[in-house]
């Protein structure tokens, strides 16, 4: 490797660069760690894990919701030059066993809240794999002043930082191979779109084991700013953090934001400069309410395979381009692909991506790679279009699209319409097989407490906003809709329900 | 080239990405161009230059102070994929002829203010070179709606964006080969240190033909923010821009800042978030005044060969680390090199650099490359040290260091002491050859109007602050000190004066 190649693939370690800073690196449920503390503790935990047998290049799984355990582990694994496999704490033991085996995990770290689940998983693995992974329980947070710390000096950009299993809204989970390069460019592209300020405090009530949460941790260290982590989403607590604790940025999905606004009577203070709204197309009504109430919302389109953000609407465009997920971030290319190649503005097609935040592939899954990567572009499976100024409009997952009597029906659009009705708290739409029409749109809704739903009236309401063929043929009530840990609707589950 | 290599070396064109933005791209003496206008005009000027014979890869020199001519030309050359050679408008025809010949320039663009000088240069070149360069006068600003615009889609990061002749404080000018990679990483590293906000307005009263000015133009386009350019430095006009025109960042050198503070009676408004202070170590007194008056000053260390900023002190450290140029930017490594390799904190040595903002070499100058590039590091020729937290303290140019009786004397320190005296407006210190001591420090000072200098009293004042061997043996008065267009003191000129 010559010096130019070396410079192109190495950057000084992010955490080590911040070690002299007196700023808070991470805040979790009232506890604060400065950058100096995080640096020292990550180094000592790295030393501890090495003493237990962890080595560079190995896969280390993490089953935890505790924000400090999570941050400490993420950064100690970076210092060790090992690979993080963050686990979804909502999965069953069987699902976790499958992922640990798929990823070839050598060590499983868990917090005390997940001891039982972790031990079940390890036991099950021991019956099939010779030794099974090394177990490490971090009771609260581990840091031992006698531990010999381990630090590395450079981050190798081409190395894998984590194997991130996709949320699994479709098919069996695939492990997206997230590199340090993906992390760095994700941070840089996001900074140029959202701006970055030395006193930024970025709150994530999203789980850290998904890309939306983890990226907040990594970006904050790259920027030298503060990550604020909540143990679980609680709208009152989030509002408190925004109003009283100087949070400047917050990452949420539409259902979370709806609930936050439902609890909030005062306008948010000026310290809050961006509400990053991901996790699928946002209902128009929600965006309208945000604009009326001067909530600085940035609709965003992202996915695990692009290390979260792909496109994000700037605050200054939030009115002019309402409903759009904005332009692609500075270093990401978004292209709309039809049957015969790229299509013109306003024409619908599959959203395909290229750029330094896009993964090089799925781990150990050549079939998935072959489907997703073609001609150097990543095929997202999402449908959308761009306008004449290059602003992206995301319609839906291609796999969720309903074709009814030859017409395309996008569940997201129908759901947004249902949600615009004052009695509807949540809605899910999916395609029901039909002999005559191919598919028909069906809906499951959650109704406001104490209200009896008038289905005829609701259909009439829909008719005012969308074409007749889009109106759900059947509307069923449910107490709660199936959503994954990130708040994403699991449409496939709805079909199973009926 | 495989797809990974392609992605690593290509980014979507910066200006083209901003073309839909309604924001002001550049502001010059009361004129405003939006991003849409700059995009269109750069494309059309590229078309015009191509119609005159300009081609990709060729060198195009620019002799202009007009901010819009400058910005328009810089961006049209990027669209053409040609190489910009910005010329110092203060140079003599002979010096310019030398640079144009050295750079192998095919086209010379000038504004009407520099017509005479440009024509002298072209005439002189025609006597020696067969044809001489194509001349293009841009009278005010050229844009013709009938011109067929030329745009490119991607920026090739490895390509050369400009050949930037170093200010020439030592030896004959060397052409630093600034790549798009240098520009991009300079912008990103600076953004992470200073922060970046969508409504940023960055003022440069520094000339655009030097790296400090040009980098403001390029960074603003990469960020999608506004560059404000002044035709020449005028402290009253700069203060007006800071107080009344919402400027958020300003790039200055110490003499400029001194003059600004001298004219300013009110505190600067909160909209001003950073005064980036480059161009050599700042006098301590000036920094003290800034802190007293709550001027948000960031001392910075930079050089042409690293595309300006190398290290910059954050505002939050400005009191705690006063006198330091701060930590290296996120992607830049700073190392202090002694005779036998890297030295410990607090030990003085040569400042050496590595990282993606550092040029790969000087154009057409293998001897200079050999001197400056060793073991993959760039040797700056500047002397400094870092403290235990990695904060850089720049002492002086190695070439300017005075060795007197075996002791090192740094002119910058002595000058700062002289400037701390209320009657001294400017000061320059240099080494005068001496048989007994090797060298002795001599000084030239500019005295406050109407004051008669008491040299004995001034020496006594110095004695309170610095060691005896550092006190200038001789102090001479002058009406003005020799400084280059960036305001950098030309110490070598001082010696010639006496």
CA distance A24 to chain B (A): 13
Question: What dihedral angle (degrees, nearest 10) is formed by the CA atoms of B224, B225, B230, B236?
Answer: 180
Per-domain residue ranges for chain B? 3-156, 182-398, 401-497
Of B286, B110, B276, residue with least CA distance to B209: B110
Q: Which residue of B has its CA nearest to A181?
A: B8
Measuring CA to CA, which residue among B251, B273, B266, B278 is closest to residue B199? B273
Query: Cβ contact (<8 Å) for A11 and B389?
Result: no
Chain B residues within 8 A of A327 when measuring between CB atoms: 17, 20
Please tell me which residue of chain B has the smallest CA distance to A388: B20
Say yes or no for a CB contact (<8 Å) between B315 and A11: no
Mutate to test the interface with B, among A22, A154, A192 (most CBs of B within 10 A): A192
E strand map for B166-282: 175-179, 201-204, 226-229, 249-252, 274-277
pLDDT tens-digit profile, chain B (498 residues): 788 889 899 999 999 999 888 899 999 999 999 999 999 999 999 999 999 999 999 999 999 999 999 999 999 999 999 999 999 998 888 889 999 999 999 999 999 999 999 999 999 998 876 678 899 999 767 777 788 999 999 999 999 999 999 855 555 789 999 999 999 999 999 999 999 999 999 999 999 999 999 999 999 999 999 999 999 999 999 999 999 999 999 999 888 898 899 999 999 999 999 999 998 778 888 899 999 999 999 999 999 999 999 999 999 999 999 999 999 999 999 999 998 999 999 999 999 999 999 999 999 999 999 999 998 999 999 999 999 999 999 988 777 888 887 777 888 888 988 988 989 999 999 998 888 887 899 999 999 988 899 999 999 999 888 888 889 999 999 998 988 877 778 887 888 777
**Shortest alpha-carbon distance between residue B181 and chain A (Å):** 10
Q: pLDDT digit string (tens) for A120-150? A: 999 999 887 667 889 999 976 777 778 899 9
Task: Compute the radius of gyration of chain B from its Cα atoms.
Answer: 23
Cβ proximity of A67 and A26 under 8 Å? yes
CB contact under 8 A, B196 and A198: no
Which residues does B contribute to its contact with A (CB < 8 Å)? 3-4, 6-8, 11-12, 14, 17, 20, 23, 188, 191-192, 195-198, 222-224, 314-316, 327-328, 330-331, 333, 354-356, 358, 360, 376, 389-391
Q: What is the pLDDT of residue A171?
A: 58
A477, containing H or E segment: strand A474-477
CATH classification number, A182-398, choose in 3.40.50.12780, 3.40.630.30, 3.90.1150.10, 3.10.50.40: 3.40.50.12780
Asked if A198 and B315 come within 8 Å (Cβ–Cβ), the reply is: yes
Interface with A, mutate which of B195, B316, B321 (most A CBs under 10 A): B195
Q: What's the distance, Cα to Cα, between the start and end of chain A in Å?
A: 59
Please report the sign of the dihedral spanned by the C-alpha atoms of residue B136, residue B139, residue B140, residue B145.
Answer: negative
With b for 16 or more beta-carbon neighbours within 10 A and e for fewer, the A286-324 pattern comes to bbebbeeeebbbbbbbbbbbbbbbbbbbbbebbeebbbb
Q: Which of A7, A198, A224 sits opposite B354 (nearest CB)?
A: A7
Q: What is the interface size between A and B, counted as CB pairs within 8 Å?
A: 80
Asked if residues B383 and B352 have their Cβ atoms less than 8 Å apart, the reply is: no
Residue B273: closest CA among chain A residues belongs to which residue? A197
**Closest alpha carbon within chain B to A390:** B20
Which residue, among B217, B205, B384, has the nearest Cα to B302 in the 3D structure?
B384
CB contact under 8 A, A195 and B192: no
* CA angle (B448, B451, B454) in 5-degree steps: 110
From the candidates A1, A2, A10, A12, which should be mutated to test the interface with B, based on the most B CB atoms within 10 A? A12
Distance CA A275, CA A312 (A): 11
CA dist., res. B284 & res. B262, Å (int): 16
Cβ-based contacts of A221 with chain B (< 8 Å): none
CB contact under 8 A, A8 and B356: yes
CB contact under 8 A, A315 and B17: no
Name the H helices within B283-386.
284-292, 366-372
Distance to chain A for B7, nearest Cα, Å = 6
**Residue in A closest to B197 by C-alpha:** A195
Residue B460's contacts (CB-CB under 8 Å, 6 or more residues apart) are none
Interface of chain A toward chain B, CB-CB under 8 angstroms: 3-4, 6-8, 11-12, 14, 17, 20, 23, 188, 191-192, 195-198, 222-224, 314-316, 327-328, 330-331, 333, 354-356, 358, 360, 376, 389-391
CB A216 within 8 A of CB A390: no
Cβ separation of B7 and A315 shorter than 8 Å? no
State how far residue A145 is from chain B, nearest Cα, in angstroms: 21
Query: Under CATH, which number does the domain B401-497 receive?
Result: 3.30.300.30
Out of A188, A196, A222, name the one closest to residue B195 (CB): A196
**Whole-prediction pTM value?**
0.87
Q: List CB contacts of B438: < 8 A, sequence separation 6 or more.
A: B403, B404, B405, B406
Judged by DSSP in three states, A271 sits in coil
Q: Where are the beta strands (DSSP E) in A73-171?
A: 83-86, 105-111, 134-138, 154-156, 160-165
The answer to whether A192 contacts B197, with C-beta atoms less than 8 Å apart, is: no
**Is A446:A425 a contact under the CB 8 Å cutoff?**
yes
Calculate the CA dihedral of residues B120, B125, B131, B132 and round it to 10 degrees.
-70
User: Which residues on A lie below 8 Å from B358 (Cβ)?
Assistant: 7
CA distance B126 to B129: 5
**Which of chain A's residues have a Cβ under 8 Å away from the Cβ of B3?**
354, 376
**The pLDDT of residue A285:** 83
Nearest to B331 among A11, A196, A333 (CB): A11
Q: What interhelical angle do B211-223 and B67-80 show, nearest 10?
A: 70
Q: Apex CA B339: angle with CA B335 and CA B344, to 5°?
A: 45
Q: What is the pLDDT of residue A434?
A: 85
Backbone angles phi, psi at B345, to 5 degrees: -50, 145
Q: Which residue of B has its CA nearest to A11?
A: B331
Residue B166 φ/ψ, nearest 5 degrees = -65, 150
Determine the pLDDT at residue A493: 83
B238: closest CA of chain A, how far (Å): 24
| Interface contact flag, A196 B198, Cβ < 8 Å | no
Least CB-CB distance to A223: which of B192, B224, B316? B192
| Nearest CA distance, A354 vs chain B (angstrom) | 8
Closest CA to B186 of B345, B24, B328, B3: B328
Parallel, antiparallel or unpaired: strands A105-111 and A134-138: parallel
User: By C-alpha distance, which of A483, A466, A393, A477 is closest to A442?
Assistant: A477
Q: Which of B4, B355, B390 sits opposite A20 (nearest CB)?
A: B390
Kind plus residue range of the DSSP H or E element containing A216: helix A211-223
Q: How many CB atoms lie within 10 A of CB B156?
A: 16
| Domain B3-156 CATH class label | alpha beta
**What is the pLDDT tens value at each position of chain A, 498 positions in all?**
788 889 899 999 999 999 888 899 999 999 999 999 999 999 999 999 999 999 999 999 999 999 999 999 999 999 999 999 999 998 888 889 999 999 999 999 999 999 999 999 999 998 876 678 899 999 767 777 788 999 999 999 999 999 999 855 555 789 999 999 999 999 999 999 999 999 999 999 999 999 999 999 999 999 999 999 999 999 999 999 999 999 999 999 888 898 899 999 999 999 999 999 998 778 888 899 999 999 999 999 999 999 999 999 999 999 999 999 999 999 999 999 998 999 999 999 999 999 999 999 999 999 999 999 998 999 999 999 999 999 999 988 777 888 887 777 888 888 988 988 989 999 999 998 888 887 899 999 999 988 999 999 999 999 888 888 889 999 999 998 988 877 778 887 888 777
Chain B interface disruption, residue of A2, A6, A11, most B CBs within 10 A: A11
The whole-angstrom distance between B76's CA and the closest CA on chain A is 20
Contact A222 B17 (CB under 8 A): no
Does the fold of domain B401-497 match that of domain B3-156? no
B139: phi then psi, degrees, rounded to nearest 5: -85, 105
Contact A453, A422 (CB under 8 A): no
Taking the C-alpha atoms of residue A338 and residue A494, their distance in angstroms, rounded to an integer, is 29
Q: Indicate which of A20, A187, A358, A359 best probes the interface with B, i.e. most B CBs within 10 Å of its own CB.
A: A20
The closest of A356, A353, A331 to A342, measured between CA atoms, is: A353
Residue in chain B closest to A356 (alpha carbons) equals B7
Identify all chain B residues contacting A197, using CB atoms and an 8 Å cutoff: 195, 197
Looking at the DSSP bridge assignments, the partners of residue B447 are B424
């Amino acid at each position: 490797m010559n010096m130019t190649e070396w410079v192109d693939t190495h950057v000084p370690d992010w955490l080590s660069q911040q070690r002299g800073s007196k700023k808070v690196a991470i805040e979790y449920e009232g506890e604060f760690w400065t950058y100096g503390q995080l640096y020292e503790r990550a180094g000592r935990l790295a030393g501890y894990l090495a003493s237990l047998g962890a080595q560079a290049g190995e896969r280390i799984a993490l089953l935890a919701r505790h924000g400090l355990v999570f941050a400490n582990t993420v950064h100690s694994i970076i210092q060790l030059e090992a690979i993080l496999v963050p686990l979804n704490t909502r999965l069953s033991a069987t699902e976790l066993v499958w992922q640990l085996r798929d990823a070839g995990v050598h060590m499983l770290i868990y917090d005390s809240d997940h001891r039982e689940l972790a031990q079940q998983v390890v036991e099950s693995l021991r019956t099939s794999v010779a030794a099974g992974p090394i177990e490490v329980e971090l009771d609260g947070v581990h840091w031992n002043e006698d531990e010999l710390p381990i630090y590395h000096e450079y981050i190798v950009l081409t190395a894998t930082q984590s194997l991130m299993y996709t949320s699994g809204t479709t098919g069996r989970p695939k492990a997206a191979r997230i590199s340090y390069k993906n992390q760095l460019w994700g941070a840089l592209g996001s900074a140029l779109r959202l701006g970055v300020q030395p006193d930024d405090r970025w709150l994530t009530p999203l789980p850290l084991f998904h890309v939306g949460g983890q990226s907040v941790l990594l970006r904050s260290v790259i920027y030298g700013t503060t990550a604020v982590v909540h143990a679980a989403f609680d709208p009152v607590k989030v509002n408190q953090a925004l109003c009283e604790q100087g949070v400047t940025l917050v990452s949420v999905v539409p259902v979370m934001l709806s609930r936050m606004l439902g609890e909030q009577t005062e306008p948010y203070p000026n310290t809050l400069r961006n509400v990053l709204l991901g996790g699928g197309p946002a209902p128009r009504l929600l965006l309208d309410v945000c604009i009326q109430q001067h909530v600085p919302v940035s609709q965003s389109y992202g996915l695990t395979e692009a290390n979260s953000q792909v496109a994000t609407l700037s605050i200054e465009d939030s009115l002019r381009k309402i409903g759009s997920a904005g332009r692609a971030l500075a270093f990401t290319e978004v292209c709309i692909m039809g049957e015969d190649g790229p299509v013109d503005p306003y024409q619908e097609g599959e959203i395909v991506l290229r750029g330094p935040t896009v993964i090089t592939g799925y781990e150990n899954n050549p079939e998935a790679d072959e489907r997703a990567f073609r001609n150097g572009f990543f095929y997202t499976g999402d449908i959308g279009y761009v306008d004449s100024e290059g602003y992206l409009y995301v319609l839906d997952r291609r796999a969720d699209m309903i074709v009814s009597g030859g017409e395309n029906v996008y569940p997201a659009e129908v759901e947004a319409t249902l949600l615009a009705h004052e009695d509807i708290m949540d809605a899910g739409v999916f395609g029901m097989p039909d002999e005559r029409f191919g598919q028909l749109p069906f809906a499951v809704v959650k109704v406001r407490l104490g209200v009896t739903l008038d289905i005829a009236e609701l259909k009439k309401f829909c008719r005012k906003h969308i074409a007749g063929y889009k109106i759900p043929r059947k509307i069923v009530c449910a107490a709660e809709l199936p959503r994954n840990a990130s708040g994403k609707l699991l449409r496939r589950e709805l079909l199973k329900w009926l």
